[in-house]
Amino acid sequence: MTERKRKPSTTKKMVKWVNNLVTGILMVLLIGVASLVVITKASGGEPQFFGYQLKTVLSGSMEPGIQTGSIIAVKLAEDKAGYVEGDVITFMEEDMLITHRITEVFNSGDSILYRTKGDNNNAADMNPVLSDNVVASYNGFTLPYVGYFINFSQSKNGALLLLIPGFLLLIYSGITIWKVLAQIELPQKKQAEVVGEDGGKSST
């Protein structure tokens, strides 16, 4: 008498699907963190993609639109004299980059200047911004809290970030292997029990 092959249960299919999903997520996380650390180190802390740079925001002057600790994507300035009132620009002031909104555009001789203000500040910035000092413009893309992560990746201990997803992947792989071994041993134990029961029977 031949036994019918049992179809995998829905539960086993679901477990396998979840295992594959978690493994994939951990792999993507590991590759993503490694790429971010390498790109950040290679670019001196300012990753650049297709003419955009990622900047870390560590003040609350533009909240609530841009939260402290966010990273923002800014478009590198091409026409530095072409910005208008309402644009958000990133400019250099005393060796520091600042991202504020333009509240006024005016001329001073042959120069174009921008008066700026942080959305969360009570007053406009003290010094107007010379158009030549504009570095980039902000167009709305922001990721909250990721700036803290990038700042840490620039530090001496930044490589430790690679260990976190790697360690999680190692633990998950160990658990998966243990479950597979347990599933292999279970049928063997059942078969041994059946053989033991048959061996204990006597014929009359």
Catalytic residue among 59, 108, 131, 153: 59
Task: Write the CA distances from 137 to 45, 77, 89, 169, integer angstroms.
Answer: 18, 7, 4, 39
Question: What's the CATH number where 121 sits?
Answer: 2.10.109.10
Whether 130 maps to a domain, the answer reads yes
pTM over 0.85: no
Whether 204 maps to a domain, the answer reads no
Q: How many residues does the chain have?
A: 204
pLDDT recorded at residue 183: 65
Sign of the torsion formed by the C-alpha atoms of 17, 19, 22 and 27? negative
pLDDT recorded at residue 204: 47
202 is catalytic: no
Whether 136 maps to a domain, the answer reads yes
Total number of domains constituting the chain: 1
Query: What percent of the chain lies above the pLDDT cut of 70?
Result: 50
Encode pLDDT of 151-161 as tens digits: 655 555 555 55
Encode pLDDT of 12-60 as tens digits: 666 667 767 776 776 666 666 556 555 555 545 566 666 788 888 888 9
Whether 119 maps to a domain, the answer reads yes
Whether 66 maps to a domain, the answer reads yes
For residue 4, report the phi and psi dihedrals to the nearest 5 degrees: -75, 140
Whether 160 maps to a domain, the answer reads no
Whether 75 maps to a domain, the answer reads yes
Whether 176 maps to a domain, the answer reads no
Contact status, residue 87 vs residue 102, Cβ threshold 8 Å: yes
State the number of CA atoms in the 13 A half-sphere of 192 facing the CB.
5
The type of residue at 142 is: T
Domain that holds residue 117: 46-146
